[in-house]
Structure 1
Amino acid sequence: MTAIRTTCAYCGVGCGIRATVTGERTAQIAGDPDHPANRGRLCSKGTHLGETVGLEGRLLHPMIGAKRASWDKALDLVAKRFRETIARHGPNSVAFYVSGQLLTEDYYVANKLMKGFIGSANIDTNSRLCMSSAVAGHIRGFGEDVVPATYDDLDVADLFVLVGSNTAWCHPIVYQRIRARCEAGAKLVVIDPRRTETAEEADLHLAIRPGSDVALMNGLLQHCRDADALDDAWLAAHVAVPADFWDQLGEGSDLWSVAKTCDVDAADLRRFYELFAATPRTVTLFSQGINQSTSGTDQVNAILNLHLATGRIGKPGAVPFSITGQPNAMGGREVGGLASTLAAHMDFGPEARARVQRFWAAPAIAEKPGLKAVDLFRAVGEGRIKALWVMATNPAVSMPDANRVREALAACPFVVVSDVIEKTDTGAFAHVRLPAAAWGEKDGTVTNSDRTISRQRALFPLPGEAMPDWWIVKEVARRMGWKNAFAYDRAADIWREHCRLSTYDNDGARLFALPGAAQGGNAAYDDMQPFRWGGDAMFADGRFPTDDGRARLVPVAQKPLPAPLEKWPLTLNSGRYRDQWHTMTRTGLAPKLARHRAEPLVEVHPRDGEQWDLADGGLARVATPQGESLYRVAFAEGQRRGELFVPIHWTDRTASGGRTGLLPRPLVDPHSGQPGFKRTPARIEAVSPRWRGFLLLNHDPAERPGCLWATRVAVPSGTLWELAGDGDLKSLEATLPRGERIEAEDRARGTRRIAIVASGRLAAALFVTETGELPPRDWLIAQLAAPDVAPTLLAGRAPGAAADRGPIVCVCFDIGLKTIAAAIRDQSLTDVAAIGAAIGAGTNCGSCRPALARILSEEKSHAA
């Protein structure tokens, strides 16, 4: 069996994978040691990609309404409705909403159709939600959306500043390179309101007030000026500085004012400032905590200002580094997937528009930027957009104020959804659903966070009638009348055209260019090795893609931070879990990835929990002016007082609560249009159900169990639902399959246990109680695959005593908390490396290393 070199389906690190097909829909996954992004390492999500390549829940045939249709009929209908809408209401009455899950070739064709042939720029992407403020900041500071850093900079830096990034969880492979350098003596500063697992291992953690990043960075820049740590020669030669820049900077930038604004200890702030000023080789990595803000672009430029003024750019180990969230967010930026850009890093200026129109031989070209994501869905709701095509994303879950988005989708006269999954929250509103190719079936390119372009290659043939996204879009374009312009036979055809456009009439004014890449034939495309456009040392020559060749210091000021509101006294933050991805359409299929965080939790400081009468492990309702949702409560000392944290992953398909997208306000950054997910006024109240329990099934039910709290957890050989409710249990019992029924009841405790046996094996088990205890789930889950029914089934445990591993900490090797603690005690282990050597925990992706360090510290404290 030959390993196929491809790239991971998840974050912007862009890890290389060697995948060996082992069956019709099975594959063995390993890191690619020759890929420059990961050098053979994979995080827990990438490691378990092989568990997600089956066809469970897949959309495999075109659907018109609830009926299966042929491709010809579905595509003809889409083309006809878009053509009629444009004829009747104009090109701006239609829109595409696309995704960083698309390959560059998919993105290119969709962008070309909308901007060059339909003639509107109403195509935006879910990347708007995660990194568009970085794009706007780069353009303001550098003149072009260019990330100047590479992963190699991490190997030579002496100081890392992580701003608004839980890197250990969200970009584990990047974090491991950082930790390797720290073990050689580099320092790590984490700036994050939460004490995350990334912050646990930092030399300094600044738990700043949410939204105070501009004050922090402006204060640091003022400190560097006072400490004579600016690079005056670099500034004079390569940077344009507005006349009043330094005067504006000085207002409120003294140490004590910044400490008050950021709500941090002045001594810690001084320590950070002095460390930065004294360490020329500094990499500042920033992510969603910076970008997902109504001041996101200003926050980005505050970081860029700092690096430009101190000459920490274009030098090994001295760069600002935007680390993106999605596997091809960068590829989308390169082809103009955002409504605010055209193509190949061009804008909507007259020369650029004419250039792209000539190259495409397009009948029309968009005259101006289109509607960004929030405004786009607002226009749908207001009836200004009458035909919408959603590709590879789930805005009914992920957009802010998601209930309003659902109302807009429901009111839209014509909605098309291209997706790999049959049932999604967004697909429920579609008039036409088109089956797209998934990871493992796609063939094309992606660009990661450090500008490295890699091939994503197919492992399996296309299942059912699924087709690549580029094919679907080009077929609609051809049916709309543009056959010659969309005469692509393979992804390589699109790639070569994309490369030619990048160099067309490009005399070096645009740094994005792929010279030579368009010359190879299909074989060269098939054999493409990872390569980084723009070289390894961007801006090393001090030249920037601006009219005068200089970068720009952009004046930015800290906006006033409002006091808590009486009705909404708390501040809500949201983000990712370590082992899940977006709305879990892929990771939700992998049982091992469900072990780390099985349910959506609202993390609360214990003293806030006491104030609001919450119970650790109980349920609570989080409400904002936009809506409300239920969560399981988790007390967390790492939360700032007055603040809450919730995950983004759960949907109507996977839980009755945990719907986070409906909570944030639809307020956006004025420059980038990126929503501010990180600072939403909120309140919380305890919810006390009458009973709690769980339902174990050997299949995935068509509908979610009907009760107050129901959360789906993928388990081997079946599905687990964690439950809680108030009414009687008859509706739950109706979800049980047919078979021999075994049950027990304890009326004193309000406990009922039911098992269904079919063909001599366990088919289902329902355990509920009002006041009693529920058994651990692991042994019962294993019974779904057992050949016989154990006599102690309703007891929920094996005959005799069974070892309890505790909550899973190391997902890669399925190692629980109690196993780790016992090894530390019994083998006298003294550090994380010793734990790895003894039981393997933390030796694969390393994302559990902060947790291992905390367990080690706790065990030492207990021993003392």
Structure 2
Amino acid sequence: MTTLTQTTCCYCGVGCGMLVESDGERIVGVQGDPAHPANFGRLCSKGMTLPLTAQSLAGRVLAPELRTTRDAERAPASWDDALETVASRFADVIRRHGPDAVAFYVSGQLLTEDYYVFNKLAKGLVRTNNIDTNSRLCMSSAVSAYKMALGADGPPTCYDDLEAASTVLFAGSNMAYAHPVLFRRLEAAKAADPSIRWIVVDPRRTDTAAMADLHLAIVPGTDVALFHGMLHHLIWEGRIDRRYIDVHTEGFDALKQMLRGYTPQLAADICGIEESALRQAADWFGESPAALSLYCMGLNQSSHGTEKNLALIHLHLATAQIGRPGAGPFSLTGQPNAMGGREVGGLSTMLAAHREIGNAAHRAEVEQLWGVRGLSDKPGLPAVEMFDAVRDGRIKAIWIACTNPVHSMPDSERVREALAAAEFVVVQEVFHQTDTVPYADVLLPATSWGEKAGTVTNSERRISRVRAAVAAPGQTRADWWIAGEVARRLAPKLDASPEPFAFSSIETIFDEHRALTVGRDLDIGGIDYALLEQRGPQQWPFPAGAANGAARRYEDGVFATGDGRARFHAFEYRPVAEPINARHPLRLITGRLRDQWHGMSRTGRVGQLFEHAPEPALTMHPADAARRGLRAGEFVQLSSRRGERVLTLAVSDDVASGTVFVPMHWSGQFLGGGGVNDTTLGAVDKYSKQPELKHAAVRVDPLTLAWRVAAVRRGDALQLHASVQPLLAERRFATVRLEGDDRIVVMAADNEPDADWLERLHTALALPRDESLLEYRDARRSMTKRVAWRDTLIDGVLVAGSEADVAASTSLLARVRETAPWTRARHAVFVADSGPAAPRDRTVCQCKSVTASSINAAIGAGADVSQLKARLGCGTVCGSCVPELQRMCAAPGKAMTPPFATNAA
């Protein structure tokens, strides 16, 4: 019997409601919840495949593991031993070095209740503010700007503004990929009213930019100059709202004086765009009945991210485009509960309920509600500084929960060095296969999506319930329970009472959290679990006695500052932290893909999510590639002052000359050596301490790797991946990906043949060594071809040799995907249909499995997007592929070229 459970998606900050189908033991399906106001039943490609990420326990952490000495392997342990070890080791460090010698690094993917207990453990029991979150890498510049300009954290807008806006300014957001469900609403609004104008500010021609009425392809990092130039134009053309400025704001005259130097021509020159385009953008924004800005990591992940956010908010304040339908600055949250984490004070620079660490009255309020004394008045270390402190020994012990800093932090080699040097590392995780897990002295098994319960807050300040659909597997436990149990054991060792951590349920945690918010700007005194059960998700603020939460903030023009006035801030444009030079002449920008998520620890478990972008690639402008003698598909070495990475080259004019793009998703689990963050730098914003992950100065050089390996193996793809992954880092280039749930593909290359590594790969792929294996070997050429049989079915192929040898074997490798039996003599497999196969057909529509060739054929026959939907079904389910369908219709055949073409292997 199938049961339906209402819950919330665990990916981005849209906060989509879901109905999870389970059979009592396993999650078997999912559908969008039509009653949830965030998505009204829509889901994206990632959300629709969530059940596939949860159906197999392969790779799950199912029991605690302990390392008895630093050089020993971890071994299974009881919960009592694991919890006692964590409490004892933390207590020992605190006694010897003080509370600031320990740290906690948590995640925007934790539930609010999980976050709350961790924050209380760190700040209330240990009395250190060294608790930070990967939201520092995501949303902290948006937080700083909201607080500096409007007085408090939190977007003043709501999702209904998407339909109410007349002009939409996208800044540093490829919303079509990163927040596709909300993008569908914008598409529908524009289809209904073609007069709506879209302006996209992005160095790349993304799918979002390709649909814009105006694309401002600025030089990376020049957003402040752009917004300053736009506001200069609006001021001197008389298109600001002086009455609103005088009544509701402060600081405008100083800003106006500073903006005199930012003429549209100068600003356009800095940004590398036409002056007329800058003026057009400003005019559309200033003249619009309702202007909405939507922004994300392109603004936030910068050493000047707060100023980029502020400069955009200035446009809204100066034109009174705020506090009314369709208007306002709307930061799109990257993670499902980054907002909830900020609500409970889960960053090192804040206290619960938007209180300030340095405010004695605020500390006293928290102490009274928590029943503790002596909260630290010293701000804790934010993420980059935290890991630097671990690296240099100031922090001795660190507890990492629900995040993968070895992959996600900038200059990630420093993070590896830090964790290798730490006295004690605790990792609380769902999956074994992350880049951080190998550094754990204690590994704690946490529950995952579909198994846990609590609340999350989405981008529009809406609190939703998360519910468990199935029982937790093995010995996994809820994150809040783990933190609370350690706190109860740690408290006596610190001469404190364990009573503040005697939570009987998640509801008691939520009730304590909401009590802390009463009287604050995010007051949720009127929300409890009973209300959420009865009325569904609710927005804050929602004080006790209110009939509803507030959809929009500042509608009365009274802001959350001491005097109720918003603040303008005068500051000059500053360039990126690391300028290009002759040695590193290219600008590296990083970003997301449509079907992958963060470091792929979850999405990497689903083969079909590799079909749109099968492998990592560096995308370069055709002219830049031609000048360097580079061709698509060749290996290149990406190098910065910090590290290097070998990738395949894709050529596309979607990136500007002088700029290269690399997706951020591929971690060391899928790409030998790790992800692109080995090359990024740790420079941070002076206000938010958010690092500049979006820009680094790099060089790209050709690379010849004479020895090539390709393998395709049928079997349990997740189990095979776990066996193969440790081998990836040993090669100059190596990738692994899943195909469906029953095949794995491995590609590798190096300078010289390595027979020992090849044999270990053979073993890791579980290829046989008996009569079911057929081998052809040419020792003189160091060429090997192996075919594994299961009866008359080809079960696996492994080829090693020169580039030409592997290219000539693509048809052979492709046979592992066939379900028809081999009816000829076995040895004929080495010669039948030999030679390169056609490039593998890329899947554009995941929901209906529609390939690029099918779409191009229909376009060639005259189909437009609506006819593609009717004939092929693409774009009719989640809609995530619609922007790409529009691009393909606009430029037939283009979607079959790189950046993501791949061969049959």
User: TM range, normalised to the smaller chain?
Assistant: over 0.9
Q: Distance in 2 between matches of 1:30 and 1:549?
A: 44
Is this contact kept in 2: 1:805–1:815, CA < 8 A?
no
Instruction: Name the structure 2 match of 1:365.
Output: 375
Instruction: Name the structure 2 match of 1:532.
Output: 539
Q: Note the alpha carbon deviations across 1:748-792, whole angstroms, 9 max, x for none.
A: 998643111246654421134522434269953434x77878868
Structure 2 counterpart of 1:259, from 257, 261, 268: 268
Q: Note the alpha carbon deviations across 1:600-632, whole angstroms, 9 max, x for none.
A: 111111111122232211111111111111111
Q: Distance in 2 between matches of 1:307 and 1:135?
A: 17
Instruction: Name the structure 1 match of 2:60.
Output: 58
Distance 1:257 1:746, change over 3 A: same
Is this contact kept in 2: 1:631–1:657, CA < 8 A?
no
Structure 1 counterpart of 2:613, from 589, 597, 601: 597
Q: Distance in 2 between matches of 1:804 and 1:249?
A: 53
Name structure 2 gaps, 5 residues minimum.
68-73, 492-496, 542-549, 896-905
Q: Distance in 2 between matches of 1:306 and 1:790?
A: 71
Distance 1:232 1:595, change over 3 A: same
Is this contact kept in 2: 1:603–1:639, CA < 8 A?
yes
Instruction: Name the structure 1 match of 2:172.
Output: 164
The answer to whether 1:517 aligns with 2:527 is yes
The answer to whether 1:189 aligns with 2:195 is no
Moved more, 46-55 or 555-564: 555-564
Amino acid at match of 1:368: K
Distance 1:422 1:802, change over 3 A: closer
Q: Distance in 1 between matches of 2:19 and 2:414?
A: 42
Instruction: Name the structure 1 match of 2:675.
Output: 659
Local SS of the residue matching 1:480: helix
Amino acid at match of 1:250: R
Instruction: Name the structure 1 match of 2:328.
Output: 319
Q: Distance in 2 between matches of 1:188 and 1:777?
A: 48
Instruction: Name the structure 1 match of 2:903.
Output: none
Structure 2 counterpart of 1:119, from 127, 133, 140: 127
Instruction: Name the structure 1 match of 2:26.
Output: 25
Q: Note the alpha carbon deviations across 1:462-489, whole angstroms, 9 max, x for none.
A: 1000001000000000001242101112
Q: Distance in 1 between matches of 2:500 and 2:673?
A: 46
Name structure 1 gaps, 5 residues minimum.
none
Q: Note the alpha carbon deviations across 1:626-656, whole angstroms, 9 max, x for none.
A: 1111111101101111111111112222221
Q: Distance in 2 between matches of 1:89 and 1:490?
A: 34
Structure 1 counterpart of 2:736, from 701, 712, 723: 712
Task: Spell out the pairing of 1:641-660 with structure 2 (5 A cutoff).
Answer: 641-657=657-673, 659-660=675-676
Q: Distance in 2 between matches of 1:85 and 1:833?
A: 64
Is this contact kept in 2: 1:571–1:680, CA < 8 A?
yes
Instruction: Name the structure 2 match of 1:840.
Output: 873
Amino acid at match of 2:353: A
Amino acid at match of 1:553: F
Q: Distance in 2 between matches of 1:279 and 1:819?
A: 41
Is this contact kept in 1: 2:786–2:799, CA < 8 A?
yes
Q: TM-score, normalised by structure 1?
A: 0.94
Instruction: Name the structure 2 match of 1:285.
Output: 294
The answer to whether 1:483 aligns with 2:482 is no
Is this contact kept in 2: 1:715–1:781, CA < 8 A?
no
Is this contact kept in 2: 1:780–1:797, CA < 8 A?
no
Alpha-carbon distance, 1:273 to partner:
1.7
Instruction: Name the structure 1 match of 2:71.
Output: none
Moved more, 469-478 or 725-734: 725-734
Task: Spell out the pairing of 1:247-646 with structure 2 (5 A cutoff).
Answer: 247-251=257-261, 253-348=262-357, 349-481=359-491, 482-503=497-518, 506=519, 510-518=520-528, 529-534=536-541, 535-560=550-575, 564-646=580-662
Instruction: Name the structure 2 match of 1:859.
Output: 892
Alpha-carbon distance, 1:541 to partner:
1.0
Is this contact kept in 2: 1:775–1:796, CA < 8 A?
no
Q: Distance in 1 between matches of 2:840 and 2:585?
A: 39
Local SS of the residue matching 2:891: helix
Is this contact kept in 2: 1:753–1:794, CA < 8 A?
no
Is this contact kept in 1: 2:795–2:816, CA < 8 A?
no
Is this contact kept in 2: 1:761–1:789, CA < 8 A?
no
Local SS of the residue matching 2:157: coil
Q: Distance in 1 between matches of 2:562 and 2:824?
A: 77
The answer to whether 1:75 aligns with 2:110 is no
Q: Distance in 2 between matches of 1:296 and 1:515?
A: 33
Local SS of the residue matching 2:647: strand
Q: Note the alpha carbon deviations across 1:637-696, whole angstroms, 9 max, x for none.
A: 011111111111122222215621211111000000000012211111111121434212
Structure 1 counterpart of 2:231, from 215, 221, 235: 221
Q: Distance in 2 between matches of 1:539 and 1:756?
A: 67
Structure 2 counterpart of 1:811, from 838, 846, 850: 846
Structure 2 counterpart of 1:732, from 758, 766, 769: 758
Amino acid at match of 2:671: A
Is this contact kept in 2: 1:14–1:449, CA < 8 A?
yes
Amino acid at match of 1:118: V
Q: Note the alpha carbon deviations across 1:340-376, whole angstroms, 9 max, x for none.
A: 1101111121111110111101133121321000000
Is this contact kept in 2: 1:743–1:794, CA < 8 A?
no
Q: Percent identity?
A: 41
Local SS of the residue matching 2:389: helix
Local SS of the residue matching 1:607: helix
Distance 1:86 1:224, change over 3 A: same
Alpha-carbon distance, 1:825 to partner:
2.9
The answer to whether 1:672 aligns with 2:681 is no
Amino acid at match of 1:572: L
Amino acid at match of 2:611: R
Instruction: Name the structure 1 match of 2:547.
Output: none
Structure 1 counterpart of 2:106, from 89, 93, 98: 98
Structure 2 counterpart of 1:821, from 848, 856, 866: 856
Local SS of the residue matching 2:3: coil
Alpha-carbon distance, 1:810 to partner:
1.3
Distance 1:528 1:172, change over 3 A: same
Local SS of the residue matching 1:151: coil
Alpha-carbon distance, 1:195 to partner:
0.9
Is this contact kept in 2: 1:359–1:501, CA < 8 A?
yes
Amino acid at match of 2:505: R
Q: Distance in 2 between matches of 1:315 and 1:446?
A: 26
Distance 1:215 1:861, change over 3 A: closer
